[in-house]
Amino acid sequence: MELSNLLKNLPEQFFAKLSKNVADAVAEGRDVINLGQGNPDCPTPEHIIKAMQEATADPAMHKYSPFRGISPFKEAIVDFYAREYGVTLDADKEVAILFGAKAGLVELPLAILNPGDTMLLPDPGYPDYLSGVALGQVAFETMPLLAENNFLPNYEDIPQDVLQRAKLMYLNYPNNPTGATTTPEFFDETIQLAKEQDITIMHDFAYGSLGFDGVRPPSFLQSEGAKEVGIEFYTLSKTYNMAGWRVGFAVGNEKLIEGLNLLQDHLYCSLFPAIQVAAAAALNGPQQCVTEQLQIYEKRRNTLITACEKIGWQVEAPAGSFFAWLRVPEGFSSEQFADTLLQEANVAVAAGNGFGSHGEGYVRVGLLVEDERLEEAIARIAAIPAFQDRICIK
């Protein structure tokens, strides 16, 4: 018995491989500082946990949820977008509940594209975007994200024939892996292009709450005309430290929302109702926890950058997300540098080429350990002889 060709064509799961390498090192008894992960290290706020505990005691929560989610959660999403971004949404037509944003990212190409259609992906970008490409049996072209353009795609550089073929574009700001943010003006430009070329836009807003230096990341839906051409995905994983809860949502264009909902009608019987109740409590409840979490990440970012500068490693401070995108020393490839750090310094980072060909020359570092461990990780790296010989990084 063999697996289907559809599954055989799936890309290698980048993060699964990374996790295994770290687990193998830990199993050898090594003290690994894991900066390669994207898993929030702080606990879920207490008021969210309490809401979950109370909901699970209600027998009504143990039954099947309505296929498209419970009204209190959908209304909480509407209220959240109105409060945080000044965006008006219809709870019935413009909201889809997701089993984590990742599920929606993989589902969207299946919902709106046909085999052989073309979509545009950022490079570097979140590797699991490619899972939707493979399962949807669609083609893709990449949009390079370069430092000289602040890690934004330059639409003028996309060949006209590619634009004419493209039916769907993925964007992600604050960006994983680069930590770059964007502006409303960029979204305005994107909407104009989408209308001219008849391209649907998906904005992955997973790190929407994480903008540094007092700059609040904009929502794609805040730009005029956004709902005419696109959709935005949001997850509670990062904002509220709910990664293991697997709960997120999509908002925006009602045809796209209907497509996602219809597909999910055939895949699931909606999310456990108690998780939806807890998610509503997160969105509706006190938001001081969000502010405090941002302060923690910004402090860690500053600790990391200062430590790097002390050893002569000149790096750019990320503007958002909980990642830093660091250039590797001369003479190393991304993968060689990541392997060297794990083997010689017991520090795990994610090799940049795992996020696409334009990620070569970088490693992604997560701000997901305490400040002291970040400083220790950089001190370990500084002690590597090969690093000491190549720290002239510009």
- pLDDT one-digit tens code per residue, 351-366: 999 999 999 999 999 9
Question: Is 109 a residue whose pLDDT tops 60?
Answer: yes
Token couple for 219? 């929502």
pTM of the model: 0.95
- Specify the amino acid at residue 142: T
- Specify the amino acid at residue 205: F
Instruction: State residue 12's pLDDT score.
Output: 80
- pLDDT one-digit tens code per residue, 245-284: 999 999 999 999 999 999 999 998 889 999 999 999 999 9
Question: Is 390 a residue whose pLDDT tops 70?
Answer: no
Residue extent(s) of CATH 3.90.1150.10 domains in the chain: 5-44+288-387
Question: Is 391 a residue whose pLDDT tops 70?
Answer: no
Residue extent(s) of CATH 3.40.640.10 domains in the chain: 63-284
Instruction: State residue 291's pLDDT score.
Output: 97
Mean pLDDT over 104-126 rounds to: 97
Question: Is 388 a residue whose pLDDT tops 80?
Answer: no
Identify the CATH assignment for 5-44+288-387 out of 3.40.50.720, 3.90.550.10, 2.70.98.90, 3.90.1150.10.
Answer: 3.90.1150.10
Instruction: State residue 20's pLDDT score.
Output: 86
Q: What is the dihedral of CA 214, 38, 32, 326, to 10 degrees?
A: -60
- pLDDT one-digit tens code per residue, 211-237: 999 999 999 999 999 999 999 999 999
Q: pLDDT grade, residue 393 (50/70/90)? A: very low
Instruction: State residue 389's pLDDT score.
Output: 67
Q: Where do the H-state alpha helices sit in the chain? A: 5-8, 14-27, 46-56, 71-85, 101-112, 129-136, 160-165, 184-197, 226-229, 236-239, 254-267, 273-284, 288-310, 334-340, 371-382, 385-388
| CATH architecture of the domain formed by 63-284 | 3-Layer(aba) Sandwich (3.40)
